[in-house]
Amino acid sequence: MNSPLLFQVIETAATTKVGIATLNTPQTLNGLSLEMCELLATQLGDWQADESIAMVILKGAGDRAFCAGGDLHGLYRSMQENVGRLAWDNVYARHFFDTEYRLDYQIHTYSKPVLCWGSGIVMGGGVGLMMGASHRVVTETTRFAMPEITIGLYPDVGGSWMLARLPGGTGLFLALTGAQLGHSDCRYLGLADYTLDSGQWDELVRQIQAASWSVADSENHVLLERLLRGMQSAAGAEPGPLEKSHALIRKACDGKDFDAICSNIASFSDNADPWLKRAATTFMAGSPGSARLCFALLDRVRLHSLADVFRDEYIVSLHCGVEGDFQEGIRALLIDKDKQPRWNPATLAQATDAWVQRFFQPPWPESIGHPLADLGEERTSGKI
């Protein structure tokens, strides 16, 4: 039986080495399971402590995806087993979100360079892994998105922290529509740092092995930056669909008027741009409760630290496990595959601000502190 994660250490021109972690479940587009989170967190910790390891590379097996998301099937089973009980009673969800969010935070605060090869699909849990990497590479095949509104969830794994820091209204638009970004728009928004061709992987590894890496993290960050810049195509990338429509998106989605923003996005269904039309269609078919939750959460975490955002998301995610739309969304998309979710609330009008406040209340007994209370305030990567 193949391991869901492969770890490799390669030699370089100096005495230092490079660790490569490969998500190895291409049949599920390298979807991130609890076991994978645990294995990767442990290995990253070992490589951090190993002075002979100069840097780390994260990649996905196969050509289709870096990572398409988290373990929805496992979470679905846990929600079925927890029907009629409280959010805190779902032990699997507690463990999964705790482990995944700690892993994401570990990458954000990793002192050694972390190169994420974000080729192919990068969605949901994959965004959580890529977002904190110090050197984020996209290719012509990259499809980057946070499409959680289609399954009754919201952009977690630090996604609310990322989206809340994009230019006015842009992050909310991405959260409400699940719109996919290519390499050009990822670079435009600062969600990626370098664009390489997908066929350059072998050359990238060759150049990394030929380089003389230091034992000083700061020097290795600079060396990797120079190496990646040198490999980028000299030709300028064509603007992506978001960049072309950015002024329109900001005008439509900035501000505090939830009803107006929803109406503005829905109006894109009449736009001649097929990318905007698809965004509107996804929004209108998505969970109204998720739309309200995204709106409220992005406003709530706007000035929060990364650690505090993960603490907020942990609370919200546990509530999503009992509110119903998350389970219903997975059922409709992945279990029964009828693509006919029965959302509750059924309309945007019913998904009121008063209704959404329940998601922000700690679900554990008063005698218990926050499970992520020990996430520190260490230096982050500085990436959006």
Q: Any idea where the domains of the chain sit in the sequence? A: 5-360
- As a whole number, the mean pLDDT across the chain is 96
Q: If we measure between CA atoms, which residue out of 181, 376, 211 comes closest to residue 279?
A: 181
pLDDT at site 233: 72
User: For the chain, how are helix, strand and coil distributed in percent, rounded to 5?
Assistant: 50, 10, 35
E strand or H helix at 92, and its extent? helix 91-108
- What the block records as the tokens of 360 is 């922000």
Contact 180, 144 (CB under 8 A): yes
Evaluate if residue 1 carries a pLDDT over 90.
no
Structure confidence at residue 376 as a pLDDT band (50, 70, 90): confident
Q: If we measure between CA atoms, which residue out of 159, 150, 163 comes closest to residue 130?
A: 159
Q: Could you tell me whether strands 17-23 and 5-11 are parallel, antiparallel, or unpaired per DSSP bridges?
A: antiparallel
pLDDT at site 231: 96
Q: If we measure between CA atoms, which residue out of 181, 183, 190, 179 comes closest to residue 139?
A: 183
Q: What is the mean pLDDT of residues 183-188?
A: 97
Structure confidence at residue 205 as a pLDDT band (50, 70, 90): very high
Q: If we measure between CA atoms, which residue out of 235, 59, 254, 233 comes closest to residue 176?
A: 254
Residue-wise over 41-71: b if at least 16 C-beta within 10 A, else e? Answer: beebeebbeeeebbbbbbbbbbebbbbbbbb
Q: What is the mean pLDDT of residues 317-339?
A: 96
pLDDT at site 3: 95
pLDDT at site 378: 54
pLDDT at site 2: 86
pLDDT at site 320: 97
Per CATH, the homologous superfamily of domain 5-360 is: 2-enoyl-CoA Hydratase; Chain A, domain 1 (3.90.226.10)
Evaluate if residue 204 carries a pLDDT over 80.
yes
pLDDT at site 218: 97
- Residues of the chain above pLDDT 90, percent: 95
Evaluate if residue 145 carries a pLDDT over 70.
yes
